[in-house]
């Protein structure tokens, strides 16, 4: 307890007022700094501009103009300084990402830096970036900026077609296994399933002899997903791609593909995904089944009437 | 020895177990003056944790001298205390390793140093051995109380990262979340669907919807959902954690608790305190002290002073004759009552010191296994490694106790060894501590006088709910005019210092003072 004054605890009205004051002060400071940079843009040298913009961007990372100014300033530097500042830029953007992990500007800036550094390709740098992506995906597995950036990195790191075939194959398999573990943590992760489809495609193109075993395993994975949670759409979308685009109608067989879905339908009647998948499969394989039309009508009229026309079109 | 210590308080609390400490904090929080004492030289009473050397001392010190005090006048009666350490009986600590290397008669040609007791004793400080191991559900109970009262900022927790159950002669991971079920290789597709359905139902249903099913045995209800024996056993034993004769209502309530707790802090419903359960009492004592409570360990307590006319407890008296008065009430752990010695209900507790985990893992884990079968009370097994701050690197503590004692410890250890296979054998057990702890929760020792409120020690369950409820009830018994039980302490940012009388200028004065302090 202080000698001079009383200890007092703020009421919620006072708390709110305090927060408003704080926000107003912050806004004022930002506007002043921003205006000053714009006014002096052509008067200051690159280094000063980089310093000043950094101060503002750390708290307000989504200001496009300031990032533009940074890019301009870095491009004005000579080769050695440029390299140094490009690498520093990675650190700067990392700090800014702490304010907003989904800032378009920050992620774009990182890509821009890597593009410029491309000629001085540094494997460690890319590995570090991959680690960073992994960390950010742990914080938020749906950060699509991070996913897109990760794939940009993987394109860069992918062994070229001139390197050994097994290198390329293990590269794809590593990625598939990373995606598998991400899905293992949360099977609703649509991004993970989406990228899985891309890499499966690449692996199948690269090594067609493994086609049937890979597709079989993949089907088991996806069956596992909708038996665990039959309402999760990510797995169903993937299944649709897998069945119709990858496996192909001729190779879909009743025992492996259709029967498990029919069993699921028995346990979980009224599940729109299952009903739709079965309707499409029965039609595709020319299996005469009265249920098909009944299901499509149920879907159109009751279960998913928002998409009624979509179902009716299939009848 | 009592120089400077006031003689009058609103509340006197005797014993620093969890229930007493929560109460001391709650009373201090509403502005009451509290004197909180313990006859031991450590905090926690029956709930404390010891270093390795501390444990040895505890085993040896089971005596507390009892002194007779005479009443000071006709209006006073003295009720002497019993020995609170009488709640512990049959304490045995047996080591399977040599004390030192010199005693070893075999000459080892290979260079593996044998683990000896003195090596462990040198690292005594790294041990925090719980007398009463407990886990914390992430929602409800003690964790919510810690958050609500802001006492949570005094302690740290780790997730109980691994939950195992008995499956086909070995220990497997308990699949309880969607991710677990998805990733499991041991459950068929259809069983996955059925299991998920039951789990989602348990989570989302309201108890009222059960209707007639409410009172049928839980196992019957689960069979009605078409689950096979293994899955029924999984849910009853490792998710609801009830006995086989539990009703559906009990089973679903507990399943909800478990499922609601998953995801709050991680993929497991339980937390374990860093540095052991003894920390908990201390955290509440800290809050009490912050709000003005006075602490006195190793207090030479002789007994309670009773006002003969009103038959009310007026306070306590030390062996020196010094008296301390309590205006509102004296709260005391019932282990101080002389009649506790005749109590027959006990919890058999065991602590194994091991050098190998019961199930190997790449990372540091805190493991919980619940064993049970029909006609049997649940057996709790908790394993902690060095990551918990309770034991040095390379060693583990294995706590074993049964909800209500039925099997003897050797049978339980035998059963565990059958499940662990070659990874973990008897050779990995370096030492074994066993003791009986009188179970004072369900034993209703009614208070012999008014204004003396009795708390209790731990029971054989895995959580603290009983303790929290008792504390809340006792608090409302003493203060029944709507006082809040452990209201949230204010955040530092909301505390401002203002000059006397300048209420009009509050806003500007406060801002300036704040900026100065920054």
CB neighbourhood size of A254 (10 A): 11
Q: Does B494 touch chain A (CB under 8 A)?
A: yes
Average pLDDT in the B492-502 region?
60
pLDDT of residue A168: 85
- Token readout for B471 is 């504390």
The pLDDT tens digits for B204-247 are 888 888 888 888 999 999 999 889 998 999 999 999 999 888 99
Asked if residue B142 lies in contact with residue B121, where contact means CB atoms within 8 angstroms, the answer is no
Q: How confident is the model at residue B288 (pLDDT cuts 50, 70, 90)?
A: very high
Interface of A with B (CB under 8 A): 2, 4-10, 15, 17, 21, 184-187, 223-225, 227-230, 260, 263-264, 267-268
Out of A7, A230, A264, closest to residue B497 by CB: A7
pLDDT of residue B388: 94
pLDDT of residue B66: 64
Q: Which residue has the higher pLDDT, B506 or B469?
A: B469
pLDDT of residue A61: 86
**Domain spans, chain A:** 10-121, 158-226, 252-315
Average pLDDT in the B169-176 region?
90
Q: Residue A308: is it exposed, middle or buried by C-beta count within 10 angstroms (0-12/13-18/19+)?
A: middle
Q: State whether residue A188 is helix, strand or coil.
A: coil
Q: How confident is the model at residue A81 (pLDDT cuts 50, 70, 90)?
A: confident
Asked if residue B215 lies in contact with residue B223, where contact means CB atoms within 8 angstroms, the answer is no
Out of B183, B189, B507, closest to residue A184 by CB: B183
Relative to beta strand A5-9, strand B76-80 is unpaired
Relative to beta strand B162-167, strand B366-371 is parallel
Q: How confident is the model at residue B504 (pLDDT cuts 50, 70, 90)?
A: very low
Q: State whether residue B12 is helix, strand or coil.
A: strand
Contact A15 B494 (CB under 8 A): yes
Q: How confident is the model at residue B499 (pLDDT cuts 50, 70, 90)?
A: low
Gap between the Cα atoms of B467 and B334, Å rounded: 13
Average pLDDT, chain A: 86
Q: State whether residue A89 is helix, strand or coil.
A: helix
Residue of A297, A292, A296, A266 whose CA lies nearest to A281? A292
Contacts of B211 (CB under 8 A, 6+ apart): none
Average pLDDT in the A219-232 region?
92
pLDDT of residue B447: 78
Average pLDDT in the A54-62 region?
87
Gap between the Cα atoms of B368 and A39, Å rounded: 64
Average pLDDT in the A192-211 region?
90
Mutate to test the interface with A, among B31, B189, B502, B516 (most CBs of A within 10 A): B189
pLDDT of residue B343: 73
The dihedrals phi and psi of B329, each to the nearest 5 degrees, come to -175, 160
- Token readout for B345 is 């209900």
Gap between the Cα atoms of B16 and B333, Å rounded: 8
Out of B178, B490, B495, closest to residue A228 by CB: B178
Relative to beta strand B323-333, strand B8-14 is parallel
Asked if residue B283 lies in contact with residue B154, where contact means CB atoms within 8 angstroms, the answer is yes
Contact B497 A6 (CB under 8 A): yes
Contacts with A7 from chain B: Cβ below 8 Å: 495-497
* pLDDT beyond 90 at B23: yes
Report CA B461 to chain centroid distance, whole Å: 9
Highest-confidence segment of A7-21, A269-283, B335-349:
A269-283
What angle is formed at CA B227 by the lines to CA B226 and CA B232, rounded to 5 degrees?
Answer: 140
**Domain spans, chain B:** 8-86+275-342+441-478, 177-261
3-state DSSP of B119-172: HHHHCHHHCCEECCCCCEECCCHHHHHHHHHCHHHHCCEEECCEEEEEECCEEE
Gap between the Cα atoms of B35 and B449, Å rounded: 20
Fold classified for B8-86+275-342+441-478: FAD/NAD(P)-binding domain (3.50.50)
The pLDDT tens digits for A23-41 are 999 899 989 988 888 888 8
Query: B177-261 belongs to which homologous superfamily?
Result: Guanine Nucleotide Dissociation Inhibitor, domain 1 (1.10.405.10)
The pLDDT tens digits for B66-121 are 667 888 888 888 888 888 888 898 899 999 988 887 655 555 555 566 788 988 99
- Token readout for B285 is 């004592």
Contacts with A223 from chain B: Cβ below 8 Å: 189
Gap between the Cα atoms of B49 and A15, Å rounded: 41
User: What is the Cα Rg of chain B in Å?
Assistant: 26
Q: How confident is the model at residue B269 (pLDDT cuts 50, 70, 90)?
A: very high
Q: How confident is the model at residue B14 (pLDDT cuts 50, 70, 90)?
A: very high
pLDDT of residue A196: 93
Note whether B8-86+275-342+441-478 and B177-261 share their fold: no
């Amino acid at each position: 307890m202080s000698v001079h004054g009383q200890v007092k605890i703020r009421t919620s009205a006072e708390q709110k007022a305090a927060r408003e004051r704080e926000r107003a002060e912050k806004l004022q400071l930002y506007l002043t700094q921003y205006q000053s940079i714009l006014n002096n843009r052509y008067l200051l040298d690159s280094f000063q501009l980089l310093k000043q913009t950094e101060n503002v961007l750390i708290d307000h990372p989504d200001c496009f103009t300031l990032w533009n100014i940074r890019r301009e300033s870095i491009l004005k530097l000579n080769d050695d300084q440029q390299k140094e500042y490009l690498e520093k830029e990675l650190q700067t953007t990392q700090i800014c990402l702490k304010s907003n992990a989904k800032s378009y500007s920050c992620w774009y800036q990182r890509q821009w830096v890597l593009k410029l550094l491309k000629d001085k390709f540094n494997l460690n740098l890319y590995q570090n970036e991959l680690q960073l992506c992994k960390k950010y995906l742990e914080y938020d597995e749906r950060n699509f900026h991070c996913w897109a950036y990760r794939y940009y990195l993987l394109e860069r790191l992918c062994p070229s077609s001139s390197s050994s075939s097994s290198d390329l194959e293990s590269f794809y398999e590593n990625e598939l296994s990373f995606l598998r573990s991400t899905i293992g943590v949360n099977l609703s992760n649509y991004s993970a399933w989406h990228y899985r489809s891309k890499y499966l495609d690449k692996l199948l193109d690269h090594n067609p002899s493994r086609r049937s075993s890979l597709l079989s395993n993949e089907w088991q994975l996806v069956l596992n997903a909708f038996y665990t949670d039959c309402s999760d759409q990510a797995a169903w979308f993937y299944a649709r791609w897998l069945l119709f685009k990858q496996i192909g109608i001729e190779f879909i067989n009743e025992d492996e593909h259709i029967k498990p879905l029919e069993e699921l339908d028995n346990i979980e009647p009224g599940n729109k995904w299952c009903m739709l998948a079965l309707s499409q499969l029965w039609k595709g394989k020319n299996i005469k089944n009265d249920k098909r039309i009944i299901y499509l009508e149920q879907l159109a009229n009751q279960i998913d009437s928002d998409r009624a026309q979509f179902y009716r079109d299939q009848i | 020895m009592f120089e400077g210590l006031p003689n009058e308080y609103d509340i006197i609390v005797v014993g620093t177990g969890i229930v007493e400490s929560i109460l001391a904090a709650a009373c201090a929080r509403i502005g009451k003056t509290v004197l909180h004492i313990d006859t031991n030289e450590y905090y926690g009473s029956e709930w404390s944790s010891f270093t390795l050397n501390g444990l040895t001392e505890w085993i040896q010190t089971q005596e507390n001298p009892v002194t007779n005090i005479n009443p000071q006048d006709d209006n006073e009666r003295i009720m002497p205390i019993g020995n609170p350490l009488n709640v512990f009986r049959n304490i045995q600590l047996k080591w399977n390793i040599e004390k030192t290397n010199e005693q070893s008669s075999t000459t080892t040609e290979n260079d593996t140093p044998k683990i000896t007791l003195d090596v462990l004793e040198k690292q005594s400080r790294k041990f925090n051995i719980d007398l009463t191991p407990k886990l914390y559900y992430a929602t409800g109970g003690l964790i919510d109380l810690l958050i609500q009262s802001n006492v949570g900022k005094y302690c740290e927790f780790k997730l109980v990262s691994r939950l195992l159950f008995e499956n086909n002669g070995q220990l497997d991971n308990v699949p309880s979340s969607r991710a677990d079920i998805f990733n499991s290789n041991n459950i068929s597709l259809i069983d996955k669907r059925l299991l998920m359905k039951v789990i989602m139902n348990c989570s989302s249903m309201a108890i009222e919807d059960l209707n007639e099913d409410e009172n049928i045995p839980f196992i019957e209800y689960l069979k009605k959902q078409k689950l096979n024996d293994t899955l029924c056993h999984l849910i009853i034993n490792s998710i609801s954690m009830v006995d086989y004769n539990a009703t559906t209502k009990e089973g679903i309530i507990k399943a909800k608790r478990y499922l609601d707790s998953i995801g709050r802090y991680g993929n497991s419903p339980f937390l374990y305190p860093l540095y052991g359960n003894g920390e908990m009492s201390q955290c509440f004592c800290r809050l009490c002290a912050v709000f003005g409570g006075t602490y006195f360990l190793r207090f030479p307590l002789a007994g309670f002073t009773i006002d003969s006319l009103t038959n009310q407890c007026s306070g306590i008296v030390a062996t020196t004759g010094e008296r301390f008065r309590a205006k509102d009430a004296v709260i005391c752990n019932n282990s101080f009552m002389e009649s506790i010695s005749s109590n027959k209900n006990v919890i058999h507790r065991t602590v194994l010191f091991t050098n190998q985990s019961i199930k190997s893992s790449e990372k540091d884990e805190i493991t919980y296994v619940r064993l049970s079968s029909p006609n049997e009370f649940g057996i709790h097994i908790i394993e902690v490694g060095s990551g918990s701050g309770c034991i040095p690197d390379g060693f583990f503590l294995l706590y074993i106790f049964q909800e209500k004692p039925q099997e003897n410890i050797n049978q339980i250890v035998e059963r565990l060894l059958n499940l662990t296979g070659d990874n973990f054998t008897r050779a990995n057990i370096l030492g074994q501590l066993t003791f009986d702890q009188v179970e004072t929760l369900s034993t209703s020792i009614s208070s012999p006088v008014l204004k003396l409120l009795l708390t209790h020690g731990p029971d054989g369950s895995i959580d603290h709910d009983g303790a929290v409820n008792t504390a809340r009830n006792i608090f409302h018994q003493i203060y029944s005019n709507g006082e809040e039980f452990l209201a949230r302490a204010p955040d530092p940012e909301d505390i401002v210092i203002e000059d006397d009388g300048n209420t009009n200028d509050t806003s500007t004065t406060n801002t300036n003072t704040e900026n100065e302090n920054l």
